[in-house]
């Protein structure tokens, strides 16, 4: 049988209409599954003649190329790499609205981010981005449920309907966090080149119970691993390590596995190997990393200087593509505190960005294109979508980007100071929107209203300092046309 090669994948990509016609590339056990913008462009006769292609199946939603057992995963990996490389070298769009400018600027910046660390951390976006809508939904429902509880239940005689409604709104968040590890394990192993399902199974090892006397949860059927104590602490850190390493093990097993046995035995050997590694190595290391990460950021968050540094540098981490590295920290803080105290600090960076953009708007002449661009991006920025402002307004002009960071640092200093004085606040879910949309998701050990008030005050400070520092220092000798 023909091997999967870059030449073969290049021929397939060309025959389906090029990278611009491929909206999504995935696979099952035997088929390369493509979502095409226009199926009629694909040349089925040409594809069928490519050595190694066993057939083509077309539906309304997918264009499937049959390659046989053990081939599809490798083909999908190579095609995604080829599409990424072609996209990175594409031409800039001709129109010059702010979204186009921001997208082009972002593409140019990202194309320079080729270090192994940056490529590794960029995978985290693939893992967690699909989960963000669920986090936001569960967080909003929990926030509104807590709000109703404080208004209509605490200190009163609530109706049974209200009690049931609050319980109903909270149950989604509990379900999300109960099985979140499995979702992350699946996404993580796919992001790092595995099949996904093995990552989900490995993640379940952290969810299962190992105490036969436990009255809740699902007993795994074993209380020790060949006499070795099982300690599944450091849940998310351990899951990520197991899924990432498991993906590499799976790919190496597949190299030596005959194609005809790939679907049957590759996962068997991957799980047997990774189970040992998970119990003996990953769980202990993950637990210690989890504890260390929690300690470090709890101390940074409770320190106004540390919080100012974190908020001030966050926009820079976004530009360099390493901000996804904070995600495991969010989970550690959720477990340690019951809420994510780092997120509101980092969200202050978006506030500084909005303040800086408003200052440029005021400084620019009424007929300036910059004003029109900012006008179109400022509302998304206030709502927490900051990339149009970063890549289209402040970063290309450099000075406003620096003053935006200063505005974020000021807001972070305030949040850290309040925490230092004994009132830490945080997001009631792992992560969510960073602008005013996050207000209902805020909470604290003193109630949600206090958390909301502190967060809003921090945002206002970021807006003001970002505005003033840009107005007086960040708008001199820059292009305001």
Q: Is the dihedral of CA 314, 241, 139, 143 positive or negative?
A: negative
Q: Is 28 a catalytic residue?
A: yes
Residue from 1, 2, 28, 456 carrying the catalytic annotation: 28
Q: Label residue 422 exposed, middle or buried (CB < 10 Å: 0-12, 13-18, 19+).
A: exposed
Bridge partner list, 224: 229
Q: How far apart are CA 418 and CA 425, in angstroms?
A: 8
Q: Is the dihedral of CA 158, 161, 162, 165 positive or negative?
A: positive
Q: Give the residue numbers marked as catalytic.
A: 28
């Amino acid at each position: 049988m023909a091997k999967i090669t870059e030449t073969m994948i290049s021929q397939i990509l060309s025959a389906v209409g090029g990278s611009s016609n491929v909206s999504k590339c995935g696979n099952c056990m035997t088929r390369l599954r493509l979502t095409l913008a226009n199926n009629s462009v694909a040349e089925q006769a040409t594809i069928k003649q490519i050595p190694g292609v066993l057939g083509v199946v077309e539906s309304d939603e997918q264009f499937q190329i049959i390659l046989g057992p053990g081939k599809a995963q490798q083909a999908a990996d190579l095609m995604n790499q080829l599409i990424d490389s072609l996209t990175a070298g594409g031409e800039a769009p001709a129109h010059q609205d702010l979204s186009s400018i921001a997208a082009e600027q972002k593409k140019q910046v990202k194309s320079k981010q080729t270090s192994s660390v940056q490529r590794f951390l960029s995978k985290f976006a693939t893992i967690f981005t699909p989960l963000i809508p669920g986090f936001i939904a569960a967080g909003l429902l929990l926030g509104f449920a807590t709000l109703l509880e404080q208004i209509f239940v605490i200190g009163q005689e609530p109706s049974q309907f209200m009690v049931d409604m609050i319980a109903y709104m909270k149950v989604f968040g509990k379900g999300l966090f109960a099985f979140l590890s499995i979702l992350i394990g699946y996404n993580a192993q796919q992001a790092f080149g595995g099949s996904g399902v093995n990552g989900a199974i490995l993640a379940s090892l952290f969810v299962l119970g190992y105490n036969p006397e436990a009255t809740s949860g699902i007993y795994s059927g074993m209380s020790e691993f060949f006499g070795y104590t099982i300690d599944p602490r450091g849940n998310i850190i351990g899951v990520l390590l197991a899924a990432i390493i498991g993906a590499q093990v799976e790919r190496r097993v597949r190299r030596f596995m005959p194609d005809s046995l790939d679907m049957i035995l590759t996962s068997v050997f991957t799980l047997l190997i990774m189970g040992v590694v998970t119990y003996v190595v990953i769980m202990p290391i993950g637990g210690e990393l989890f504890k260390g990460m929690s300690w470090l950021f709890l101390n940074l968050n409770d320190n106004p200087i540390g919080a100012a540094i974190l908020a001030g540098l966050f926009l820079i981490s976004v530009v360099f593509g390493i901000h996804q590295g904070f995600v495991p920290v969010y989970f550690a803080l959720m477990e340690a505190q019951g809420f994510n105290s780092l997120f509101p600090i980092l969200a202050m960076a978006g506030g500084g960005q909005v303040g800086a953009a408003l200052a440029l708007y005021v400084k620019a002449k009424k007929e300036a294109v910059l004003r029109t661009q900012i006008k179109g991006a400022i509302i998304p920025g206030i709502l927490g979508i900051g990339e149009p402002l970063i890549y289209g307004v402040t970063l290309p002009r450099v000075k406003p980007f620096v003053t935006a960071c200063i505005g974020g640092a000021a807001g972070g200093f305030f949040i850290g100071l309040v925490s230092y004085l004994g009132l830490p606040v945080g997001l009631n879910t792992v992560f969510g929107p960073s602008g005013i949309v996050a207000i209902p998701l805020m909470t604290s050990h003193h109630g949600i209203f206090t958390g909301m008030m502190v967060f809003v005050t921090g945002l206002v400070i970021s807006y003001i300092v970002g505005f003033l520092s840009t107005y007086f220092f960040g708008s001199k000798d820059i292009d305001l046309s």
